[in-house]
A and B are shown apart, each in its own frame.
Chain A
Amino acid sequence: MSDAPLDHGIPNPLREQPDFAIPAPLEAEINELITHYPQKRSASLMLLHAMQEHFGHVSRQAVEWIAAKLELQPINVYELVTFYPMFHLKPVGKHHLKVCRTLSCALGGSHKLHEHFCRKLGLDPHAHGAQTTKDGQFTVEFVECLASCGTAPVMMCNDTFHEGVSEKKADEILKQCQQQPSP
């Protein structure tokens, strides 16, 4: 693991995005999303998704921007980021590998699969929580049930589902990720 100080997920100035700016198409998308609800606050989750899709994570600036947009206090938005497991306060790897940990997948070999990824990427298979490689390319994380229990073990690479993932298939997924050109 890195020698960075303990990180409890509390926003600090280091994690701020000095270059934070909302491009026009994103703002248009956000304005459209807000019209879907009788009350602005309801759009919070969809706005957080839009932010995370665009920036890769939800920074303090993004939280404050959403709060201002929806006429809320920043805490109203921040408490969502800490409650819902899919939102990240800090950047994750370019390829986020989410391996299902729950029962049917565990019976189908998800622990071996998780360990396989960790070993291939030089991460600690026994560490708790998400781990990111030093080059920022990969994050490996155990997640809870992905609702594809019939094809265990299952995983997601970013938004794409992979089912019945053998070690061979896992290596192919890694290879595909590594071959992808940087954006």
Chain B
Amino acid sequence: MPQEYRQILKYADEPGYTPDIECYLRHGGYDILRKALAIPPRNLADGRIVTGPDHLRQEVMTSGLRGRGGAGFSCGLKWSFVDRKSGKPIYLICNADESEPGTFKDKQIIYKDPHQLIEGMAIACYANDVHLAYIYIRGEFAEGAKILNRALKEARARDFLGENILGSDYDLEIHVHRGAGAYICGEETGLIESLEGKRAYPRIKPPYFPAVLGNNTGTRIVSISGHVRKPGYYEVEVGKATLGELINDPAFGGGLREGRKLKAIIPGGSSAKVFKAGEKFKIKRRGPDGKDAEQEIELLNLPYDFDSLIAAGSMSGSGGIIVLDDSTDIVEALANISEFYAHESCGQCTPCREGSLWMSKALQRLTHGEGREADADYLMKIADNIPGGRTVCAFGEACSWPVQSFVAKFKDEFVARGAADEENRTRRNAGPTAVGKLPASS
């Protein structure tokens, strides 16, 4: 039976563990930074020199470390894209704008173990020749920003930041930059615009083709919320637990409440496509003979990793699992999600700005007795026309995927709701002054 495997949150919730530097140092803090800065340059046979930072970048590349964002992109590969020859300064930005609904993992690190974040950043900065870095923290985490500023001050006083860190010739400064309540700032280029003092309008990016790496490494903090007995954050080895185990095991979500049945799972933050209870998927998996073969896997047996969830048509995204039991009004649930995206669209691209609002309005009328039977198809038509390269950033996808998946998988409920509203309206209109009572001559 899988258990939590705490690496990042190893000490965070231990009794007596505090976010100050003394406590961090007592737990071996900043040892890795010290070690990284001490890596000597090596001379290769062909005369080239492998510097300490070169060595670190190579280590990260071979480790298979992947980003913990939606795409699970290779960290080493990402670092290899940096143009180191232009002579322009290289900056590092830590995206602490945690805001995907259903996700609450970064908060634990920032509030409980800020020095771990700072040390990690310092090592990444050294590896990439960065001398100025920012932590972009969402505006609502005002307390978190204070904790980070305190920690940065402590780190400077102890020579882990500033000039000539730990006697090396390496300088680094890290500053905290606060957002101000806009979800789109979590999008990387929107975040950069925001950091530059502008509206967070995402930029057009070259298309990235995520390399299929096949291996999953390290741990991941999964956030479980909604209708489970033990909502919370759980750090697990990537791919070691199934969706069903994460929801039902006593070590994790602890199962549904008494007498309730599963209705749906949103597996990776609210933009991930919903799974309906009882779904089965045909997925290619490596069998014991070492060959890839197609297997039928039930929803709850899906391994919770980047690739399996994509193969099942959704994604593990931000690692936020929202569980919906049979007490949930599925139309209300989608209306709630769509209202979020309509509110958060930055407004730069017409399909997203208008489309997200139209979808939200249609869902508002469906949940306020003003629906139509054709609303399900109407919603689908809008959702199908927002994503797929029609918008600058992936928000177009994020606002469409919930609508596409909810309406496709629970279509009967949407149609029934609209039909009932139409019937009620007809009955209301045919009240005491019904058509049949009008004078025939008029």
Contact = CB atoms under 8 A, between A and B. Distances in A.
A84 B175 contact: no
Interface in A28-70: 36-39, 41-46, 48-49, 70
Given A44-B197, A46-B177, A86-B181, A38 B320 contact: no
Given A36-B175, A84-B182, A149-B320, A104 B99 contact: no
Contacts of A176: none
Contacts of B139: 49, 84, 86
A152 B231 contact: yes
Contact of A150 (B143, B197, B223): B223
A145 interface: yes
Contacts, number: 140
Contact of B226 (A46, A70, A104, A143): A104
A166 interface: no
B364 to A, nearest CB: 11
B194 interface: yes
B140 A146 contact: yes
Contacts of B106: 147
Interface in B182-211: 182-183, 194-200
B343 A144 contact: yes
Contacts of B339: 101
B142 A87 contact: no
Contact of B225 (A49, A70, A149): A149
Interface stretch (A9-17, A114-122, A131-139, A154-162): A154-162
A79 interface: yes
B232 A107 contact: no
Nearest to A163: B104
For B142, B224, B270, the residue with the greatest tally of chain A CB atoms inside 10 Å of its CB is B142
A178 interface: no
A77 to B, nearest CB: 9
A46 B178 contact: yes
A80 B339 CA distance: 22
Contacts of B346: 83
Interface string B215-247: 000000001111100011100000000000000
A109 to B, nearest CB: 12
A97 B132 CA distance: 36
B47 interface: no
Contacts of A161: 143
Nearest to B324: A107
Contacts of B360: none
Given A49-B139, A83-B199, A156-B140, A106 B322 contact: no
B178 A102 contact: no
A183 interface: no
B196 A102 contact: no
Contacts of B100: 145
A88 to B, nearest CB: 11
B89 interface: yes
Given A48-B180, A103-B336, A145 B231 contact: no
B177 A102 contact: no
Given A107-B227, A150-B224, A160-B143, A144 B340 contact: yes
A145 B233 contact: no
Given A83-B182, A85-B182, A150 B232 contact: yes
Contact of B89 (A38, A41, A87): A38
Contacts of B322: 103-104, 107, 149
Contacts of B197: 39, 41-45, 70, 76, 80
Interface residues on A, range: 35 or more
B180 A49 contact: yes
B233 A102 contact: no
Given A83-B199, A107-B226, A147-B140, A45 B344 contact: no
Contacts of A36: 175, 177
B142 A149 contact: no
Contacts of A107: 225-227, 322, 324, 328, 333
A79 B180 CA distance: 13
Contacts of A150: 104, 223-225, 231-233
B180 A149 contact: no
B162 interface: no
Contacts of A156: 140
B180 A85 contact: yes
B101 interface: yes
Interface in B314-356: 320, 322, 324, 328, 332-333, 336-337, 339-340, 343-344, 346
For A44, A45, A49, A148, the residue with the greatest tally of chain B CB atoms inside 10 Å of its CB is A45
Interface in B94-147: 98-104, 106-107, 132, 138-143
Interface in B125-175: 132, 138-143, 175
Contacts of B324: 107
B318 to A, nearest CB: 10
6 contacts: A46-B177, A85-B180, A103-B333, A146-B140, A147-B138, A149-B223
Shortest beta-carbon contacts, A-B, top 8: A84-B180, A44-B197, A149-B225, A86-B181, A85-B181, A104-B225, A159-B142, A41-B197
Given A84-B139, A101-B340, A145-B101, 10 more contacts: A41-B197, A86-B139, A103-B333, A103-B340, A144-B99, A144-B181, A145-B99, A149-B104, A149-B231, A160-B143
Interface of B: 89, 98-104, 106-107, 132, 138-143, 175, 177-183, 194-200, 223-227, 231-233, 266, 270, 320, 322, 324, 328, 332-333, 336-337, 339-340, 343-344, 346
Interface of A: 36-39, 41-46, 48-49, 70, 76, 79-80, 83-87, 101-104, 106-107, 143-152, 156, 159-161
